Amino acid sequence: MPTYARRDFLKTSALVGAAAAIALPSVGKSASSPAERIRVAVVGLGGRGRESHCGALMQMEKENVEIAALCDCDESRLQNGAKKVSEQTGKTPALFTDYRKLLEDKSIDAVSLATPNHWHALQTIWACQAGKDVYVEKPGSHNIFEGRKMVQAARKYKRIVQHGTQVRSSPKIREGVEQLKAGVIGTVYMARGIAFKTRSGMARIPKPVPKEMNWDLWVGPAAMEDYTGLAVYRWRFVKNFGNGEIGDQGIHQLDLIRWGLGIDTHPTKVQSMGGRLAFPNEGEDSPGSQVFACQYADRNILISFETRDWYTNAEAGMGIEHPFVDHRNVVGAIFFGTKGYMIFPDYSSYFTYLGANRKPGPSASVAGNPFMDLEHFQNWIAAVRSRDASRLNAEIEQGHLSACLPHLANIAYATGRTLNFDPATETFHGDAEANALLTRKYREPYVVPTEI
């Protein structure tokens, strides 16, 4: 079990005890037959929850899947989500503003979490304790400590927990990974991920909390701060709530790199540098431009990742010849081998180029470059029915290993030096400053427990 330098969040209180009581209702039922209807609650009804999660689940109506409930601490988003679901399904889901109340409903089998990163771990743990299976958006955790607790909760309560890195459910991506492992580009000596997105900065201007918003619930485990448009609409780039561009987009490519290389452990050496270079005076406090590199013990390979937040070139054909989903930004993963290189420019295609002349090799793509959300939800539901977590394409431990990469990048960036990491204990060797960043101080009663 990991040890951590910071221990002050371990204090117990009456409030924590009350929260634990709410979080531990009796274990509910779990559907195990195609004839049984699986009732899912979608939690977090911003764009990703309302469009992608609800959209995929509503397409599974004929597969005996029902959106039984919706939850959001913003009443306006909750009502908009309810309208969308009722108009498309003809059924009105139960509505909750407090997630803990939703968990008391024993008729709900599973939850689909599309909330900001700082809520993922606690909501997953509470759901596991309540006997509900979980689909949790990427990155699964806000920090390394949380990810390990999520894995422990899934194991202890025997829950089916899918991590939202949906490229793992893309047939064409899976084909590309098989080709890679079969040696189509020879021995891989380096892998690189990129996320070049034209994102301008945004000021951090306090505003009155809207009457339809429960700001205390929205902030949850994070440190309390003023309500701002930056926090609500661009929380991914605020360290209190998100993990920067490398944790938002980069998690997909880093997960694909680790999967493609067959790596099931943590790196032992990490480094990162960068900053807010194009927009240095705005309110966001995560780096807009960032370079990350890591190496693994006993693996003769270098992994790197780079983010840029303004105008830039394309790379390796990605962004022009092979555009990203939005046909605007440059995103993808590149594997470099002794016979050529392979690129994955989106969520549903791959291309290889062989030899010194870059001759096109095996490739496959899906028209329209879809996000593959439906396939990933279908994989999750199939595992829920079978009660077999091994059927998951992105089981939570795989999610934890991948989420640790942006977390390690951000810790190395914060400390400003190369760090040595111990995969067995998930701590840094003799580095109290870095170890203090493995977790955070939680705001009671929203405390991620150390004992699951």
The predicted model scores a pTM of: 0.92
- Residue 373: strand, helix, or coil: helix
Q: Convert the pLDDT of each residue in 72-114 to its tens digit.
A: 999 999 999 999 999 999 999 999 999 999 999 999 999 999 9
* Residue 125 φ/ψ region, left for φ over 0, alpha for ψ in the -120 to 50 degree band, beta for the rest: alpha
Nearest alpha carbon to residue 403 among 260, 246, 276, 175: 246
Nearest alpha carbon to residue 119 among 72, 52, 78, 186: 72
Q: Which residues contact 214 (CB under 8 A, 6 or more apart)?
A: 73, 74, 97, 98
Q: Which residues pair with 428 in a beta bridge?
A: 421
- Distance, CA of 229 to CA of 117 (rounded, Å): 17
> Which phi and psi (to 5°) does residue 328 adopt?
-135, -45
Contact status, residue 97 vs residue 78, Cβ threshold 8 Å: yes
- Distance, CA of 333 to CA of 284 (rounded, Å): 26
State the pLDDT at residue 281.
Answer: 82
Contact status, residue 102 vs residue 132, Cβ threshold 8 Å: no
User: What is the bridge-based pairing of β-strands 38-43 and 65-71?
Assistant: parallel
Q: What is the CA radius of gyration of the chain?
A: 21
- Residue 50: strand, helix, or coil: helix
Nearest alpha carbon to residue 28 among 131, 157, 169: 131
- Other Cβ atoms closer than 10 A to 350: 29
Q: Residue ranges of the chain with pLDDT lower than 50?
A: 1-28
Contact status, residue 114 vs residue 44, Cβ threshold 8 Å: yes
Containing 407, the helix (H) or strand (E) segment is helix 396-415
Contact status, residue 401 vs residue 261, Cβ threshold 8 Å: no
Q: Which domains does the chain have, with CATH numbers?
A: 8-167+373-395+430-438 (3.40.50.720), 171-364 (3.30.360.10)
- Distance, CA of 96 to CA of 223 (rounded, Å): 24
- Distance, CA of 412 to CA of 432 (rounded, Å): 13
CA dihedral 73, 67, 23, 240 (to 10 degrees): -40
Cα 15 from chain centroid? 29
State the pLDDT at residue 444.
Answer: 97
* Amino acid type, 223: A
